[in-house]
Structure 1
Amino acid sequence: MAEHSVAEIIGEPISLLLKAKSYHLAGSGREDADVRMLGTGRPFYIQFNDCKEAPPLDEDLDKIQNSINSTSSLVNVKKLQTVSDSDIDIIKSSSSEKNKTYSCLLWVSQELSQDSIERIKEYSKKELKIQQKTPVRVLHNRSPLTREKTIYSMSLEHIKKNFYVLQLTTEAGTYIKEFVHGDLGRTVPNFSSLTNTDSQILELDVLDVDLNFPPNKKN
């Protein structure tokens, strides 16, 4: 486990309380290490194995949650609670069903023309179907497939000169970086082809994962 991992920051204090032999954190979806999870946060659960103590009370979890949020600059937790097997199934069964909203800071090779801006605006309220081949950067450990993915909406904000913020809501499993730069033509259409530019993504944040988890048992 990596130093200062999310699993360690959240799981370790609970593991000590339960006197668990081991634990495993499973999150809804995954991103590259340089992608921030903002907005409502990433749904997750932690499974604790071979526990010697009974499940923690709500007040115990409240104390742990408050401690994590007050001492860690890396992780913030909310709605920490015990869940059932059926609750966990929500995450396990949603891998291809949920939508995700992203914010991307872009650099483009030239300021966008009005035609290019209008072309992106067309997709503010309508879907865009794209074809994505397995990205070059992950071909060494993924099957070489072509997948159809859906961009449900896009909006664009001009920051200055050649810098823009693109916000988009997509189908789960969409490769956002490749949608922006095109991945040598392996994602079509892509933002670069739609705007007739060479576009690169500088920062990528997840703003929302559309998944009703955990159950609304506490605030």
Structure 2
Amino acid sequence: MSHRLLTGPKLVLATHNAGKVREVAELLAPWGFAVVSAGALGLPEPAETESSFLGNARIKALAAATASGLPALADDSGFSVAALDGAPGVHTADWAQTPDGRDYAMAMAKVERLARHAKDRRAWFSCALVLAWPDGHTEGFLGEAHGQWVWPPRGTNGFGYDPMFVPDGGAQTFGEMAPAAKHAISHRAAAFAQLSAACLPPRP
């Protein structure tokens, strides 16, 4: 299967999440793309109506590419708990939503409250990355990081549910890890490795 190559030089990150902007911009840095976020461009956030991470990422990427006239990269990611049948999953951000914004401490407490009596502590992060062009072409990639959830949360690095997730083979939560250590093994890194192999030119 052939993939479309992203030639740049400018790329829209289809997100209003500062943490995602930071992580994806760092992953893209070696290629020298000029990166601007949808939030910085004042683009609206489209309704995420799909039942999969790839489906929702595609909605966001196409909306940003169409509105900006530039290639756009969207990330849709989430935290899943085996004992909760994969929840919160695609509803990860919804679990944190309050009238005043997103409260991930509240969302993590909800996970713990619902799953505290389960013996199965398996959990995983998923990340879908979708590249879209203004002509409607898209390329999608899905990565995962498996581990277990822990309580209480530990660490102040990362964002979202990072402080309650310990990856397989590790002792620190994503919230305790240095950013470079997390990037090396994260769900976002796994998806980005696929994207870079398929759609990015050789690194300079």
TM-score band w.r.t. shorter chain: under 0.3
The answer to which structure has the higher strand fraction is: 1
TM-score, normalised relative to structure 2: 0.25
Please tell me whether Structure 1 or Structure 2 has the larger radius of gyration of its CA atoms.
1
- Taking CA–CA contacts closer than 8 Å with sequence separation of 6 or more, which of the two structures ends up with the larger relative contact order? 1
The answer to which structure has the higher helix fraction is: 2
